[in-house]
Amino acid sequence: MGKIQVIFKKEDIRPEDLKGKVVVVFDILFATSTITAAIADGAASVIPVYSPEQARETAKNFPHPFLMAGEDQGKRIDGFHPPLRTHLNPVIQNKHLILTTTNGTVALHQSRKASHLYAASLLNNPAMARFLNDHHQSGTIVLVCSGSSGRYTIEDFYGAGSLINHLLRQGEWELSDAATTAIHFFTGCSEAREVLRNCRIGRLLVEAGLNPKEIDFVAKEGLFDTVLAYNNKNGQIKEVRDATC
């Protein structure tokens, strides 16, 4: 029987402890949701990087068509597309997306020592659960909630609970206390749209001018049937095509 654990925020990640484990990273608003949508919309890959400086450095020698997108502490970065599906969808086809965000891409970067590393969101949680049950059922799965600048966030914990809910429908898993709390939280909540609109980050983003439809989109559980794996050799996230990815 496999085990499921939950990390509440990226600052709690201990990279050495992730060796030999399967890690799934969540940043519902918006990094991993943006990654999920970008791949579904035809991006060649997504390259999550630690900072705007690393994004620019990566872009200097990148040999293929690409776009840069990101935010820094919630603010736009000069020369970068906003990291939202509405802005990227018309221009992402067949391009690589170099993505930097304050929390989600940092969490992915810090989780690279895992034996397998995946990005998940409400948009692809059902497919992610089927894949994990098929290919990692006897392992230890660590669900990493990115959080926000050192603080726990409801939306990422809700996303983790959603994945656990789907995993338990697929098979038997041993849950840590944090994982047990996440599934109880998820099943006790109202619909995803309301959770995301009313959480602290959701409210802050809308107050700052974000169109609420962006939040409504990432609340659509199971919209895409994709599994997204991080390749530690080239730093790219692509859709899993077979069990060896």
Look up the domain containing 218 and give its range: 2-231
Q: Is residue 240 part of a domain?
A: no
Determine the Cα–Cα distance for residues 17 and 79; give it in Å rounded to an integer: 37
Query: What's the pTM value of the predicted model, to 2 decimals?
Result: 0.96
Q: Is residue 227 part of a domain?
A: yes
Q: Is residue 183 part of a domain?
A: yes
Q: What is the pLDDT of residues 178-203, one digit of tens each?
A: 999 999 999 999 899 999 999 999 99
Q: Is residue 244 part of a domain?
A: no
Q: What is the pLDDT of residues 25-34, one digit of tens each?
A: 999 999 999 9
Based on DSSP, count helices (H) and strands (E) in the chain, helices before strands: 10, 11
Given a cut of 60, whether residue 245 has pLDDT beyond it is no
Q: What is the pLDDT of residues 33-52, one digit of tens each?
A: 999 999 999 999 999 999 99
Q: What is the pLDDT of residues 195-239, one digit of tens each?
A: 999 999 999 999 999 999 999 999 999 999 999 999 999 999 999
Instruction: Tell me the average pLDDT of the chain.
Output: 96
Q: What is the pLDDT of residues 102-143, one digit of tens each?
A: 999 999 999 999 999 999 999 999 999 999 999 999 999 999
Q: Is residue 220 part of a domain?
A: yes
Q: What is the pLDDT of residues 57-95, one digit of tens each?
A: 999 989 999 999 999 988 899 999 999 999 999 999 999
Q: Distance from CA of residue 145 to its chain's centroid?
A: 9
pLDDT attached to residue 244 = 42
Given a cut of 70, whether residue 172 has pLDDT beyond it is yes
CATH number assigned to the domain comprising residue 218:
3.90.1560.10
Domain count, the chain: 1
Q: Is the peptide bond before 80 cis (omega within 30 degrees of 0)?
A: no
pLDDT attached to residue 149 = 87
SS3 state at 185: helix
pLDDT attached to residue 163 = 98
pLDDT attached to residue 242 = 54
Q: Is residue 245 part of a domain?
A: no
Q: Is the peptide bond before 62 cis (omega within 30 degrees of 0)?
A: no
Q: Is residue 238 part of a domain?
A: no
Phi and psi at 16, nearest 5°, equal: -65, -30
pLDDT attached to residue 243 = 43
Q: Is residue 85 part of a domain?
A: yes
